[in-house]
Homo-oligomer: A and B are copies of this chain.
Amino acid sequence: MSPDVRRRSNGRASREAFLDATGVLLRRQGYAATGLNEIVARSGAPRGSLYFHFPGGKQELALAAMERTGEQLRGGIAALMSQPGGAAASLARLIDVLAAGLEASGYRDGCPIATVTLEQAGNEPVRLTAERVFSTWLAELEAALAADGMEPAAAERRAVMVLAAIEGALVLARARRDVAPMHAVRDELNALFEARPAG
- State whether A171 and B176 are in contact (beta carbons under 8 Å apart), knowing that A30-B119, A114-B118, A157-B188 are contacts in the complex: no
Whether A30 contacts B118 by the Cβ 8 Å rule is: yes
Q: How many residues of A contact B (CB 8 A)?
A: 53
Instruction: State which of B121, B160, B163, B177 has its C-beta within 8 Å of the C-beta of A28.
Output: B121
- Residues on B with C-beta less than 8 A from A108 are 121-122
Instruction: State which of B107, B187, B191 has its C-beta within 8 Å of the C-beta of A121.
Output: B107
Instruction: State which of B110, B168, B192 has its C-beta within 8 Å of the C-beta of A163.
Output: B168
A31 proximal to B (CB < 8 A):
yes
CA distance A111 to B118 in the complex (A): 9
Instruction: Tell me the chain A residues, 159-191 only, with Cβ under 8 Å from chain B.
Output: 160-161, 163-169, 171-172, 174-177, 180-181, 184-185, 187-189, 191
Whether A184 contacts B165 by the Cβ 8 Å rule is: no
Instruction: Tell me the chain A residues, 99-157 only, with Cβ under 8 Å from chain B.
Output: 107-108, 110-111, 113-115, 117-122, 127, 130-131, 134, 156-157
A196 proximal to B (CB < 8 A):
yes
Q: How many copies of the shown chain assemble into the complex? A: 4
- Residues on B with C-beta less than 8 A from A114 are 118, 171
- State whether A169 and B174 are in contact (beta carbons under 8 Å apart), knowing that A118-B115, A119-B119, A122-B108 are contacts in the complex: no
- Residues on B with C-beta less than 8 A from A5 are none
A1 proximal to B (CB < 8 A):
no
Instruction: State which of B119, B131, B181 has its C-beta within 8 Å of the C-beta of A160.
Output: B181
- Residues on B with C-beta less than 8 A from A196 are 191, 195
Whether B157 contacts A119 by the Cβ 8 Å rule is: no
Nearest CB on B from A153, distance (A): 10
**What are the 7 tightest A-B residue pairs by CB atom distance, in nearest-first order?**
A195-B195, A164-B168, A167-B168, A32-B33, A168-B168, A161-B188, A32-B32
**A-B CB contact pairs (8 Å), 10 listed:** A28-B122, A33-B119, A118-B118, A131-B177, A134-B175, A161-B184, A164-B167, A164-B169, A165-B168, A167-B168
